[in-house]
Amino acid sequence: MNKKMNKTSSGSRIENKLKDVPARGDKGLIAYITAGDPNLDATVELALAMGEAGADVLELGVPFSDPVADGPVIQAASQRALAGGVTVRGIIGAVEQIRQHSDVPLVLMTYYNPVYQYGLERFAADVAEAGGDGLILPDLPPEESGALLRATDKYPIDLIPLVTPNTPDRRLPLICERAGGFIYCVSVTGVTGERESIVTDFSAMTAGVRRHSPLPVAVGFGIARPEQAVAVARHCDAVVVGSALVNIIARHSGAPGMVDAVCRRVRDLKNALTGPEVSDVAAL
């Protein structure tokens, strides 16, 4: 497997994967875990197993001590990982191990400070060499992303933007102009975390994004259960599930059944997004 061949003239590995899934009448599942929780060996094992269980894209959180978008569950996971000594370099090494055994698209989600401290071009180069595909930085507005874009443009790394319920329509062209991989629509105003109900008008949000970008559209934050995933999926190409999986890891950390417990939820979510039921929803 050539680790560097993760982008082609017809699109990146992320974009192609998330376009291929809806073309079959299904919806994509993007699964998030915090890298290094409970340790990096477990992260590699979890990532490989989740890919086999049905995750179409894997999102690995790079822990940061001062997050702005992470809710309590992911903050706690980041603190556990940092206390265990996880580093950016170690996480990039985990990406390389995952890529040696899987073609699943890999996205790193973190904040600007760790990337800046590592060195923008060095970070892009090392992630690309390891086989990573994308990067999400919730605290980096498009107006300030020029330096990072210049670095990622030299390598096959998608810089994936976020759109929130409060994003005004006038900003969508700027956000979508240099986007790669997919557009991440945040389902709620606030931080990550499981929610009983989500009342955002996804139809208006995703329709606005689609007017400005041909990229796949994913919705995340607050989605935990299969029925929630199906309800959201009618408006997008993929759903993102994170805190629910991180919470399972926390409850089973150190236990032999941790990987199986996470993969059961991944399979349940993917099964809900596959087949006649979601095909009917996709046609609405």
Active-site residue identified among 15, 37, 56, 70: 70
Give 76-109 as a DSSP string.
Answer: HHHHHHHHTT--HHHHHHHHHHHHTT----EEEE
Long-range contacts of 37-40, Cβ-Cβ distance < 8 Å, separation of 24 or more: 37/63, 37/77, 37/78, 37/80, 37/81, 37/84, 37/246, 37/249, 37/250, 37/253, 38/80, 38/84, 38/249, 38/253, 38/254, 39/84, 39/86, 40/86, 40/90, 40/91, 40/93, 40/94
3-class state of residue 241 by DSSP: strand
227 catalytic? Reply is no
Active-site residue identified among 26, 37, 59, 237: 59
260 catalytic? Reply is no
Residues belonging to the active site = 59, 70
